[in-house]
Amino acid sequence: MLTQELINQVVSAALKEDAPNGDVTSEHLIPSDATAVAELAAREPGVFSGAEVFIAAFKLTNASVQVEMKIKDGEKFEKGQLLAVVTGPARAVLTAERIGLNFVQRMCGVATLTAAYVAKVAGTKAKILDTRKTTPGLRAFERQAVVNGGGRNHRFSLSDMVMAKDNHLAVLTRGGKDLTTELKRVRAELPANIKLEVEVDRLDQITGVLAAEVDIIMLDNFSLEDLRKGVELIAGKCVVEASGGVNLETVGEIAKTGVDVISVGALTHSARALDLGLDVKIN
């Protein structure tokens, strides 16, 4: 969850990284009493995300800087649209400019890409989920952007859900152990609030996994035909997740197979920064 405390912590670190010993350019070129007005504008259309993060970049540099947001997180915007106005001491505005832009461009990029995926599955029951393929240290920021784009969050961390993939299953069944029996044992050991998800990569694995009464079955890299067959086999007994081979060209057809959710690593690991500009006028 993206809290104000986390925003302040991460943005402060970014500001420190960018100006460890102050902004020598602004300190030597800009008069100390100069003021500035900066306008954040869109150079391309998108979905907005990161308002509080953008504000924090300036407020943590100088609390007297004022940021007036002209848009809310989750709202669409067009090319040329004014998104925010920043006013205050010129040195502070210039010092925080790049950090504020870096965060908001990244978050808007994730939100905009997510919205594109969500649009592709419109009219189906499938929901678009993110994955743990996030930028280290920025997971909460990027996952908030996914939500702003209309997507949903998968498990936040390894602590939130048991997710058994092929390597886990190989260890679980070593020595000829029965998969269903071992999964039932795991299920019985888990607290009620911890879900159990199992990844399968073949149709013949589904029956044994389903018999263990798991919460979610992930159909990994299945063909469209096998996805449909998998959905029929599971028959609503648990959540069906599709993963692998998902892109903007394939996601619509995957959704039509009847799966409940589609996890898309590209939402966070392949989103490009959106083109936003911050034009500064110094008085």
Question: Does 204 participate in catalysis according to the annotation?
Answer: no
Same domain, 111 and 126: no
Given this model, what pLDDT does residue 1 score? 87
Residues 223-266 have pLDDT tens digits of 999 999 999 999 999 999 999 989 999 999 999 999 999 999 99
Given this model, what pLDDT does residue 84 score? 98
Do 155 and 130 form a contact (C-beta atoms < 8 A)? no
- CA pair distance 223, 165, nearest whole angstrom: 18
Question: Does 143 participate in catalysis according to the annotation?
Answer: no
Given this model, what pLDDT does residue 223 score? 97
Same domain, 76 and 181: no
CATH of the domain at 12: 3.90.1170.20
User: Which listed residue (39, 70, 75, 98) is catalytic?
Assistant: 98
Question: Does 187 participate in catalysis according to the annotation?
Answer: no
- Residue 68's H or E segment, with its range, is strand 66-69
Same domain, 114 and 158: no
Helix, strand, or coil (residue 55):
helix
203 DSSP 8-state letter: G
Same domain, 86 and 153: no
174 DSSP 8-state letter: G
Do 262 and 240 form a contact (C-beta atoms < 8 A)? no
CATH of the domain at 125: 3.20.20.70
- How many other CB atoms sit within 10 Å of the CB of residue 31? 9
Where the chain has pLDDT below 50, the residues are: none
For 132-196, the DSSP string reads S---TT-HHHHHHHHHHTT-B---SSTTSEEEE-HHHHHHHTGGG--HHHHHHHHHHHS-TTSEE
- CA pair distance 217, 206, nearest whole angstrom: 8
* Length of the chain counted residue by residue: 283
How many domains are there within the chain? 2
Question: Does 215 participate in catalysis according to the annotation?
Answer: no
Question: Does 185 participate in catalysis according to the annotation?
Answer: no
Same domain, 57 and 189: no
- CA pair distance 238, 195, nearest whole angstrom: 11
Same domain, 244 and 159: yes
- Whole domain around residue 159: which residue ranges? 120-269
